[in-house]
Amino acid sequence: MERLDRRLGFFSALPLAMLLAVAFLAPLLVIAVFSVMPQRVFSLFNAPDFSAYRVFFQQGYYGPLAWSLGMALVSTIVLFLISWPLAYGMAKVFGRFTLVLTVAVVMSLFVSENIRLFGWVLTLMKGGLVEGHFRALTGVGFESPLYNVPIIVFGLVYVYFPFMLFPLAQGIAMVPDDARQAAADLGASRWRVLWEIELPLAAPGIVVGCLLSFVLATGALAESKLLGGQSVIVIADEIETAFTYGQNWPLGSALSMVLILIIGALAIVAVTRIDLDTIMGRRR
């Protein structure tokens, strides 16, 4: 009976597995093949050419990569710190008001990311909504906060806020109230309950939220272009330039593969460091 169930499960999952293979693995395979092609030669019958990967180190593309990873890390930390209290309230405190907050946050996703960022540009630019009205009221202006690293991080936090908030709220909802109350009854302080009860038990939501936010922020492009004014060149910008203006598909593919491998390695390390099955009670 168990063998039959496994076979039925295998055949049931096969169509979805094939769809995932075509939709996700096939594009990665194409990028990997292009990355070892000679420049401006689109043929599968040439010997592998790894010159595009050498260009990554020779021309200093590790700088934009470091900027992307660094700003993604900072924005993920900021997102976690500002999302945890709201996620806790949505999971444990607000009750029916949680639906209102959920709808309000989700509605922001109905508007294009570029349009929302353009709105911030018009708001924060010199002579824009904030500085223009402030100068009209006081006669004193101030420099625009645009076109620097902090405003890019702000844009990343603003755009990817829902991707941290909702997994965190789901993770916190998995924490039993009895465990928290028992720890408090035994004399544990609020910080100790947070550190030893809530954070470990909410680990699945924390891992998912951090991974989503970090991966999306690492590959972000619009924030650095619109809010940063290209004061900082990120790796996604270099990839776009290689594919479009440079018409150097092997280089763009090589840069993409380097980014994919680094993010994949970090994601695997993050997932393997936390035993989600034990935390969720699947394995004792």
Comparing 272 with 281, the larger pLDDT belongs to 272
Fold of 60-279: MetI-like fold (1.10.3720)
In the predicted model, what is the mean pLDDT of residues 7-28? Answer: 79
Spatial CB neighbours of 244, under 8 Å, sequence gap ≥ 6: none
Show me where the domains of the chain are located. 60-279
Q: Closest Cα to residue 240, out of 218, 223, 256?
A: 256
Q: What is the mean pLDDT of the chain?
A: 83
So what's the pLDDT on residue 68?
A: 93
Distances (CA, A) of 50 to 46, 65, 67, 163: 12, 19, 24, 36
Distances (CA, A) of 212 to 7, 86, 252: 33, 18, 23
Residue 43: band (very low, low, confident or very high) from pLDDT cuts 50, 70, 90: low
256 vs 258: CA distance, rounded Å: 5
Residue 197: band (very low, low, confident or very high) from pLDDT cuts 50, 70, 90: confident
In this structure, are residues 148 and 228 in contact, taking their beta carbons and an 8 Å threshold?
yes
